[in-house]
Amino acid sequence: MRVVVTAVGPNNWGLADPIIQYLTTVGATIAEIQMYNHAPEGLFALMLRCQWPGRRDTLAELRSRMAEVGADQGLSIRTWARNGTGPPPRIGDDQGVPDNDRLVRILDESEADYLVLARYMRVLPAAVCWRFAGGRIINLHHGLLPGFPGAQPYRDAFARHMLTYGATVHFIVPELDAGEQTIHQDAFTVAPGTPLEEVTRLGERENEPRCLVEGLRRVVDGEVELHYHKVVAVRKAP
């Protein structure tokens, strides 16, 4: 069973040691580890993906041990395993209010598997991104990336006399515009002379919802994952 552990806390040396030591001691196989140590912000962050040797019901033991490490080291630690079986993953329902501390509390209280940002149009702080790292934050951008980033991609493409418009579903990573996180893109074409208002209507009402649904399906069905900030296809067992 694949497990993702994230840890965020004050900048300090050796904070990852007890986490890694415990996992390797109990026989977990570490597949990916990323650490961020930024002195000016006083921020330490860890994202670790491993193969957990125990059953799903033993995750409580792992979470308990990680809570002890967090309390001892002054870290905010989360242990998450994607629901490969059982009920569908639970998604966080964001109202667009930029209260990041409350957002984190809601996600933790509801035990949400994924945070989905549909044209959220705000930059999540790096600390929030690290708390839910490993492919748990998904964003819908109403433009084709990387060609049309920014807040007005329809208008920007229209100004360049484009006849093809689209939307992009991608994972969010702490580094803004890091690239290579695209999950799915959907495009539509219009005839020359189509006004911007009609382009926007087609994009918002038809193309963007279709793109978001397919992007989420690929993630929820386990077809793609985020490894080392890159989207990779998951090979399913026969």
Residues annotated as catalytic (active site), given as ranges = 177
Instruction: Check whether the bond before 98 is cis (ω within 30° of 0).
Output: no
What 3-state class would DSSP assign to 166? strand
d(Cα 167, Cα 183) in Å, to the nearest integer? 11
CA-based R_g, the chain, Å: 20
Structure tokens at 167: 């939307």
Give the start-end residues of each E strand in 39-153.
Answer: 43-51, 76-81, 91-92, 114-118, 137-141
For residues 191 and 200, the answer to whether their CB atoms sit within 8 Å is no
Residue 99, phi then psi, degrees to nearest 5: -100, 90
